[in-house]
C-alpha cells in the first residue's frame, strides 16, 4: 500500500483511509537541499572555482529537476552550523532524503556528521568544486563517512546528479 500511495500527501492518504500505519516521513516526497557557509555568495565568490550561478539559480534548477522526478524540493542555506544541524533533524522527520553542500563545514563539523548519523533518511554530500583537487585541508570530509555518498567537481550539476541518485535509492 505504501508504494501505491507514494507521492500523496499524508493528509490525502489519511482521508482515503490508507495512512493508518504510516508516518508522515514515510510518505514524504520532500527532499531537503541544505547549503552551508558562504554559499549565499555564489555568483560573486571566486567564480573561477564555483562558476557564475547564484545560489538562487541553483535552487531554482533543483526545484525544477525535483518536480520532474516527483519530488518537492525544500532549499535552505545557513552560515551557522547549529542551524544546519537543526535542519538535518527536521529532514529526518519530514523528508525522504537530504542533499547537503556543507561548504567548509564538510571539513570540520563533527556535529553535522553526528546529525546525519542520527537520522534514517539518505543524505548525499555535494561540492561544486572537486575538493580532492584543491588545498590539502579540503581533501578530508567529516560528512562523507556518515553520508550515503558524495558528488564533487561537477559544478552546480552535482545537485541534479544527487536528486537523480535520491530518486534511484528512494524508489
Catalytic residue IDs: 50, 127
| DSSP states along the chain | -HHHHTTS-HHHHHHTT--TT--HHHH--EEEEEE-TTGGGTTTS-HHHH-S--HHHHHHHHHHHHHHTT-EEEEEE-S-HHHHHHHHHHHHHH-SEEEEE-GGGGGT-HHHHHHHHTS-S-EEEEESS-GGGS-GGGS--SSTTTSSEEEESSTTHHHHHHHHHHHHHH-
Amino acid at each position: 500500500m505504501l508504494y501505491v500511495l507514494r507521492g500523496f500527501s499524508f493528509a490525502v492518504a489519511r482521508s482515503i483511509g490508507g495512512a493508518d500505519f504510516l508516518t508522515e516521513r514515510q510518505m514524504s516526497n520532500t527532499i531537503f537541499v541544505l547549503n552551508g557557509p558562504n554559499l549565499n555568495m555564489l555568483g560573486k565568490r571566486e567564480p573561477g572555482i564555483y562558476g557564475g550561478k547564484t545560489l538562487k539559480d541553483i535552487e531554482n534548477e533543483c526545484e525544477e529537476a525535483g518536480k520532474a522526478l516527483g519530488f518537492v524540493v525544500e532549499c535552505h542555506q545557513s552560515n551557522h552550523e547549529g542551524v544546519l544541524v537543526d535542519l538535518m533533524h527536521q529532514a529526518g522527520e519530514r523528508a525522504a532524503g537530504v542533499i547537503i553542500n556543507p561548504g567548509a563545514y564538510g571539513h570540520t563539523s563533527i556535529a553535522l556528521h553526528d546529525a546525519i548519523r542520527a537520522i534514517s533518511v539518505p543524505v548525499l554530500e555535494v561540492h561544486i568544486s572537486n575538493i580532492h583537487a584543491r588545498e590539502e585541508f579540503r581533501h578530508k570530509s567529516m560528512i562523507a563517512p556518515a553520508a550515503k555518498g558524495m558528488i564533487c567537481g561537477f559544478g552546480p550539476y552535482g545537485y541534479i546528479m544527487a536528486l537523480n541518485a535520491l530518486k534511484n535509492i528512494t524508489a
